[in-house]
Amino acid sequence: MERSNNGISGTIVLNGNLPPEKVVDLTGKVHQLPCCIKFNGPSDVLHYFKPKSTGVIVDGLSVEEAHFRGRKLQGTTVPIPQGYSGFVLGKKMSDEKRKRSEEDSSCWEMKAKFQNITLWNHDSLPSENDASLRAFHLFSVAAALHRPVSVEDLEAASIDQELEQ
């Protein structure tokens, strides 16, 4: 563990020693709510939280409706783009370590994986301008930034430059 003035550097172990078929798949079960529920742990979600499809489509997003604590939620389920995955992380701890301290561990491991997520708004329709959806723009930007540059690209760029001059 490395300490600095700014905090603690952490590590994330994504595959661990689990074979892929043993990884818990939460696809279709991950919801982002517009509230903070001050509770960690299991609950009867399937019995109480009942999203329904509305048939309405906004910005190409299929709108779902659900209620939580009396509030109406409108949301949409979006796939995580190919090549990416959603992960649920938890503190990695051996039993021995757990006894010693829970707080100090900065070693995280994957507890589950998911390929889509349902993003909920409190009584506003989902839209492509929602911050969570806009965060997905990073994927195409990252792809463009990290795409290997070919000889043709360089030639095209230098021609453009010459034309501008």
Q: What is the CA radius of gyration of the chain?
A: 22
Q: How far is the CB of 162 from other proteins (least distance, A)?
A: 29
Instruction: Give the residue with the Cβ less far from other proteins, 4 or 150.
Output: 4
Based on CB atoms, which residue is closest to other proteins, 100 or 134? 134
Tell me which residue has tokens 């301290």: 101
To other proteins, the closest distance from the beta carbon of 19 in angstroms equals: 27
Dihedrals φ, ψ of 108, to 5°?
-105, 150
Cβ partners under 8 Å of residue 144, min gap 6 = none
CB of 106 to other proteins, least distance (A): 7
CA torsion sign for 91, 8, 36, 12 is negative
Q: Report CA-CA distances (Å) from 48 to 43, 51, 69, 141.
A: 9, 10, 10, 39
Which spans of this chain sit near other proteins (rule: CB under 8 A)? 4, 6-10, 34-40, 43-44, 46-50, 67-72, 91, 106, 108, 122-124, 131-132, 134-135, 137-138, 141
27/95 Cα distance (integer angstroms): 29
Measured from the CB atom, the residue of 22 and 69 that comes closer to other proteins is 69
The nearer residue to other proteins, 47 or 146, going by C-beta atoms, is 47
Cβ closer to other proteins: 3 or 100?
A: 3
Residue 130 CB, nearest distance to other proteins (Å)? 10
SS3 label, residue 126: coil
Provide, rounded to whole angstroms, the least separation between the CB of residue 132 and other proteins. 8
